[in-house]
Amino acid sequence: MVDKKIGGAGLRGQVAGETALCTVGQEGSGLTYRGYDISDLADHAEFEEVAYLLQYGKLPNRSEYDNYLSRLKSKRCLPVELKEVLEKIPTNSHPMDVMRTGVSVLGNLEEEASFSEQDDHIERMVAALPGIICYWYQFCYHGRRIETDSDESSIGAHFLAMLTGKSVNPLFAKAMHASLILYAEHEFNASTFAARVCASTLSDIHSCVTAAIGTLRGPLHGGANEAAMAMIEKFRDPDDAEQSLMGMLARKEKIMGFGHAVYRESDPRNAVIKKWSDKLADEYGDRSLFEISQRCEEVMWREKKLFCNADFFHASAYHFMGIPTPLFTPIFVMSRVTGWTAHVKEQRANNRIIRPSAEYTGPNLQTYQPIEERD
Ligand X SMILES: CC(=O)SCCNC(=O)CCNC(=O)[C@H](O)C(C)(C)COP(=O)(O)OP(=O)(O)OC[C@H]1O[C@@H](n2cnc3c(N)ncnc32)[C@H](O)[C@@H]1OP(=O)(O)O
What positions carry a catalytic annotation? Answer: 260, 311
User: 146-154: long-range contacts at Cβ-Cβ below 8 A with a sequence spacing of 24 or more?
Assistant: 148/76, 148/77, 148/78, 149/73, 149/76, 149/77, 153/69, 153/73, 154/46, 154/47, 154/48
Number of residues that bind ligand X (CB under 6 A): 17
Report d(CA 256, CA 186) in Å as an integer. Answer: 19
Identify which of residues 177 and 221 has a Cβ nearer to ligand OAA in the complex: 221
Identify which of residues 105 and 181 has a Cβ nearer to ligand OAA in the complex: 181
CB of 29 closer than 8 Å to CB of 263:
yes
- Could you tell me which of 31, 311, 34, 320 has the C-alpha nearest to residue 175? 320
Q: How buried is residue 114: exposed, middle or buried, by Cβ count under 10 Å (0-12/13-18/19+)?
A: exposed
Q: Which does 86 bind (CB under 5 to 8 A by kind): ligand X, ligand OAA, none?
A: none
Cα dihedral sign, 186-190-195-201: positive
Q: What x-and-dash track marks residues 187-226 binding ligand X by CB under 6 A?
A: ---------------------------------xxx-x--
The number of beta carbons lying within 10 Å of the beta carbon of residue 12 is 12
Q: How buried is residue 304: exposed, middle or buried, by Cβ count under 10 Å (0-12/13-18/19+)?
A: middle
Q: Which does 255 bind (CB under 5 to 8 A by kind): ligand X, ligand OAA, none?
A: ligand X
Which distant-in-sequence residues (6+ apart) come within 8 Å of 329 by Cβ? 95, 96, 216, 217, 222, 223, 225, 226
Nearest distance from C-beta of residue 366 to ligand X, angstroms: 34
Identify which of residues 118 and 189 has a Cβ nearer to ligand OAA in the complex: 189
Identify which of residues 107 and 330 has a Cβ nearer to ligand X in the complex: 330
Query: Nearest-CB residue to ligand OAA?
Result: 189
DSSP letter at 31 equals E
Report d(CA 238, CA 298) in Å as an integer. Answer: 10
Q: What x-and-dash track marks residues 256-275 binding ligand X by CB under 6 A?
A: xxxxxx--------------
Q: Which does 83 bind (CB under 5 to 8 A by kind): ligand X, ligand OAA, none?
A: none
Identify which of residues 3 and 373 has a Cβ nearer to ligand X in the complex: 3
Interaction of residue 302 with ligand X, rule CB under 6 A: no
Give me the residues that bind ligand OAA (CB under 6 A), please.
186, 189, 261-262, 309-310
Interaction of residue 306 with ligand X, rule CB under 6 A: yes
Q: Which does 195 bind (CB under 5 to 8 A by kind): ligand OAA, ligand X, none?
A: none
Contact range with ligand X by CB under 6 A, out of 78-86, 116-124, 248-256, 337-345:
248-256
Kindly list the residues in this chain that would bind ligand X in the complex (CB under 6 A). Answer: 4, 220-222, 224, 254-261, 306, 309-311
